[in-house]
Chain A
């Protein structure tokens, strides 16, 4: 099982704990990652670049798709925002032949061509759809028995549903819950799981952004969650990094540890917590993990 690996900016930037965690989990489940295949690929634009120029974003992403197609590999992402923005670009380009021809004219300058058959999948989907739960089960050597985990999907991995192929692959809708159950945890239902974490407006309207953090983390806590898991490092940056500020707007400290998807899996596979970068988190998951016998 081999993929062209698109790590995204944040897994090597603001969330440096995500990249090694993803590599470790990929190795353990038998996923081979070819990062060289996409060497020189641009940032997806994260939806921000698209505010200025949607076509520019589409050309840059089509360029990445063409690189993967050239290697005959599907793309693996570890960031919901990368996944969403790429899926949207793919949807626009694939469904408009004239537009694709226009974009390919630009790509031709580099000898690249986007044919339209690239597959782009987040690690979350690869685990559930390509590797499969049955194959993952024997790898769970340290089940997180009874750990109550709130799944935080955020936006870009669930909307718009048509660009993300949710109609054809309905298992994606519960994919985080499926993983939580796989690792021995209990999924916690809460109102914020498909809502915005607040990160996109953090530098623009911090008050509103922090309100989102406070609302989602405290609702999950009220529902009994010990921790939250997210497939998006941008959500992590806000829900973890701005939680102290969110707590200061509440009567008491929220203390909701936020785990990256591969960290949750890695822990259940017996990966040394220090290899998963848990110490980098602003909200320490130590107390939550102690409940399931893991010392960080």
Chain B
């Protein structure tokens, strides 16, 4: 099939120090992946095109890049599935500095991963037996996060990292769950305490990008939500994120729906004057225009039935 590939390029040695688009027109077999196509470009048309790849079988995680604006593994993506009107666009992964063309510097990625101390830290330093046994069930539970090949696709498209590069990000948090959720780990509580701080679990926006783009179905965001629950269960509730969740859960339990007026106040705390004062202009503007929830938060009809669902599930735990 004939295809026009629009590749975002960048060469640090060129005088114009910015990214530019280059078009390549070529004929490739129908079964070609995006990676096959890029390699053909490099071999037949332009030896200066830089890209990183190794296994070509979605195992090594080297070829994460953006195809039509969304992160994916180039070796796992069939060209015919992504071309529209015989065209497709390719660019480097996002949220990481570009070294050249499609190659990004993954140093920040690895640094964040190291931050979560991605290794087992058992409680007993000197076990009586030589092995630490874990139940089959507990390991099966972790197979999802263990599928991560650290390609960086999730980090590339994370909307929280785009505005806040200090956010630890989906890959590192999925890895953190790998150990928090391991019954042999002795540092789970300490880990959860660290992760509850700024730029940790509560800075995820729940935008589902990482779930959508992960080529190995790790679904990092789902594990971030598990970490939030585990952190609250471990007692780390003295932060905006946990208070926000608990206020929400309580509001639905007691009234059937959300009390929008109380939610921010309960999140920040009734006596958090700096926050409440900073909120005043926003609130005033809304009040003046009548863009506010009703003053009195009414319970929905039959709210007690909802409360019963809560109680039933609480009793099951």
Contacts and interface: CB of A to CB of B under 8 A. Distances in A.
Interface of A: 9-10, 12-17, 39-43, 45-56, 59-60, 63, 84, 106, 109-110, 155-156, 159-161, 195-196, 198, 200-201, 203-205, 207-208, 211-212, 215, 241-242, 244-245, 279-282
Nearest to B292: A14
Nearest to A43: B257
Interface in B211-266: 211-212, 225, 228-229, 232, 240-241, 244-246, 248-249, 252, 256-258, 260, 263-264
B159 interface: yes
Nearest to B260: A13
A60 B309 contact: yes
Contact of B240 (A55, A195, A196, A204): A204
B164 A208 contact: yes
A161 B212 CA distance: 7
A49 B232 CA distance: 13
24 contacts: A9-B257, A12-B294, A13-B293, A13-B294, A14-B291, A16-B290, A16-B292, A40-B256, A41-B300, A48-B249, A49-B249, A52-B232, A60-B252, A159-B207, A196-B205, A201-B202, A201-B205, A204-B267, A205-B202, A208-B163, A208-B164, A211-B163, A242-B282, A282-B286
Contacts of A207: 164
B313 A203 contact: no
Contacts of B209: 155, 159
B15 interface: no
A59 B204 CA distance: 25
A16 B291 CA distance: 6
B32 interface: no
Interface in B181-219: 198, 202-209, 211-212
Contacts of A14: 260, 286, 291-293
Say whether chain B's binding surface is mostly helix, strand, loop, or mixed: helix
Given A9-B260, A40-B302, A48 B163 contact: no
A6 to B, nearest CB: 11
Nearest to A110: B305
Given A17-B291, A203-B264, A40 B300 contact: yes
B211 to A, nearest CB: 5
A205 B203 contact: yes
A211 B164 contact: yes
A51 B293 contact: no
B60 to A, nearest CB: 25
Interface residues of B, number: 58
A45 B167 CA distance: 25
B301 interface: yes
Given A51-B228, A282-B289, A203 B305 contact: no
B42 interface: no
B79 interface: no
B239 to A, nearest CB: 8
B256 A42 contact: yes
Contact of A241 (B248, B256, B291): B291
B313 A159 contact: no
A141 B154 CA distance: 45
Contacts of B308: 109
B157 to A, nearest CB: 9
Given A43-B258, A52-B246, A203-B264, A59 B313 contact: yes
B109 to A, nearest CB: 19
Contacts of B198: 205
